[in-house]
Structure 1
């Protein structure tokens, strides 16, 4: 091992695109998406930054690549779920789809930066396309017409992959989520204090915040327990789709 190679760093000749992307995912998981640059990734790998360009063309290619790594992880996790039997009742589509979406969400929670990158991509990973194809298959087995499937995918939006855009999310929480960590310390308190100053102008908001309390160890997004809220919204959509599917079949 030469002096330029740190312990655990493979020789430059062993560097591959797959290894570069896996290291990029590790870096983003640990330090946040903002820390993922070509220079920082090169340091992570123990190589010169220019060597990366043999494996990733630029930062956008790198982001496409890390999305593909996470999408492959989602596909792998979904692939380990029990397959739906051919003679399963049509109603089995809903619990199967719910389980698949929550499995995808569990992967994204391990990579909290990934949803931000997914939303920014202009092309889809083949793994993502295959994932959505499997959702379409579940709905078709549930008796959905392709027209209803199309409407369903629009209604689910990013929730089909396991994440949603939160309406009430303090800036600090958003920044922390994008960086791979929790909300910045004090962000929730500052946002609440701001609302209290506006109490006369937003009385219903203040009463709602006084009534509900999602703060606790299970919360993953500051103000609210986003897992609970995600499942609440998902169930409303799936229940509504179930009723529409039944209506189509009668």
Structure 2
């Protein structure tokens, strides 16, 4: 007798990759605050203790998320690089950094996560080695390449590290609360208040943080690339 229509499909075995994919989906939907080992186990339909064979506790889970984000950046950059054969250093780096930003826009929790990890995620050194190689191919010395990495900062990973990141109870940047606070202090902070009022982000301009929009990100990249051109000369 053949298998009945109601036969159950075999459950996919639990693995580190499957657990991390489920964790990313959960955090994309509800934010980092929603992620616990117990909640992730429930999403996967397993016992919480089963996760510890693949991810050693909450910190190991967060490290795994950071590594997964860097791996996603690597994949995005590789796809871009395959279309840029013969392009100059500036165009290659610009497209690399914009590819990394596309990853961050898919996972807006990732900048805060990457900034909080005490260890270097797997794959990060390789990513930066590729940036240095691109600069060297463009005629830059290691001295200027080193300084360029400092100047790029987190822009190389697709986001700007903001001095202030006002957060709501859910752990997300609370733009409205920040602007209300500035308005209340307008008399003491006339220039900061006026600047914020003048620099209203367009609705179609993707924004990662309080003041990390796509337009500002690309403006800063171009400013840095112009400066590097002068430093090389």
Whole-angstrom CA distance in 1 between matches of 2:199 and 2:107: 28
Q: What does the per-residue CA deviation read over 1:87-117, in whole Å, with 9 as the maximum and x for residues that have no partner?
A: x47xx10111010011011011111111212
Q: Unaligned 5+ residue runs, structure 1?
A: 1-6, 178-182
| CA shift in 2, pair 1:197/1:36, >3 Å | closer
Question: Which shifted more, 221-230 or 94-103?
Answer: 221-230
Give the equivalent residue in structure 2 for 1:203: 190
Deviations for 1:126-167, whole angstroms, at most 9, x for unmatched residues? 322221111111100011111111111111111111111224
Partner in structure 2 of residue 10 of structure 1: 11
For 1:4, the equivalent position in structure 2 comes to none
Determine helix, strand or coil for the equivalent of 1:100: helix
Structure 1 pair 158–212 and aligned structure 2 pair: CA distance change class (3 A): closer
Once the two structures are TM-superposed, the CA of residue 42 in structure 1 deviates from its matched residue by 0.5
1:67 corresponds in structure 2 to 66
Report SS of the residue matched to 1:80: helix
How large is the RMSD of aligned CA atoms in angstroms? 2.5
Match of 2:5 in 1: none
Closer, same or farther in 2 for the Cα pair 1:208/1:94, shift >3 Å?
Answer: same
Q: Which runs of 5+ in 2 are unaligned?
A: 1-7
**C-alpha distance after superposition, 1:42-90 (max 9, x if no partner):** 11111111111111111111111111222111111111124454xx47x
| SS of equivalent to 2:158 | coil
Q: TM-score, normalised by structure 1?
A: 0.80
**SS of structure 2 residue aligned to 1:122:** coil
1:151 corresponds in structure 2 to: 147
Alignment partner of 1:235 is 2:198: no
Aligned residues: 225
Whole-Å Cα distance in 1 between the matches of residues 68 and 212 of structure 2?
27
Secondary structure (helix, strand or coil) at the match of 1:171 reads: coil
Q: TM-score, normalised by structure 2?
A: 0.85
Trace 1:104-143 onto structure 2 (pairs within 5 A): 104-143=100-139
